[in-house]
Amino acid sequence: MGEWQTTGFHPYLPDSTLHGRTSFDWLEGGAYLIMHSEIDDPNVPSGVAIFGSDDVAKKYSMLYFDERGISRKYEVTMTGNQLQWWRDEPSFSQRFTIAIEDDGNKMVGKGEMSREGAAWEKDLTLTFVRLT
């Protein structure tokens, strides 16, 4: 939970180091987790994601929305120190893996994407460092 400083890279912005902020907060007493993300580059949209679960099916999902009006649903797993989310949509699939490090004070995330069923290629990478 709390506030995080983010730095990262995107292959479509090869000469740019991305800087931003991400926050995580519990909603409704822990029923949902909300993530707000902002990058200080107009080419990368600010977004919000809400994580929730189906307690009977033991499955997790994330609903994402950003300032472009894009909304997506991702499946989510948490295994050991690794958080993953992915979306399998034939026109545009994505997957993102976050390794939690330094006693939970740092997270390193790497994304991949596939357009129209083509081979997976690099997408956004982000490092999160806890501020609070």
What are the structural domain ranges in the chain?
2-8+18-130
Checking if the pLDDT of 43 tops 90, the result is yes
Nearest residue to 80 (alpha-carbon basis) of 98, 94, 62:
98
| Full-model pTM | 0.93
Task: Identify the pLDDT of residue 75.
Answer: 98
The model's pLDDT over 82-91, given as tens digits with 9 standing for 90+, comes to 999 999 999 9
**Cα dihedral value 94, 130, 7, 79, nearest 10:** -30
- Compute how many other C-beta atoms are within 10 angstroms of the C-beta atom of residue 29: 6
* Helix H or strand E encompassing 67: none
Residue 1 binned pLDDT confidence (cut-offs 50, 70, 90): confident
Task: Identify the pLDDT of residue 80.
Answer: 95
Checking if the pLDDT of 48 tops 90, the result is yes
Residues 6+ apart with CB under 8 A from 87: 72, 73, 74, 75, 93, 94, 95
Checking if the pLDDT of 69 tops 90, the result is yes
Nearest residue to 85 (alpha-carbon basis) of 129, 41, 30, 123:
123
The model's pLDDT over 98-128, given as tens digits with 9 standing for 90+, comes to 999 999 999 999 999 999 999 999 999 999 9
CATH node for 2-8+18-130: 2.40.128.20
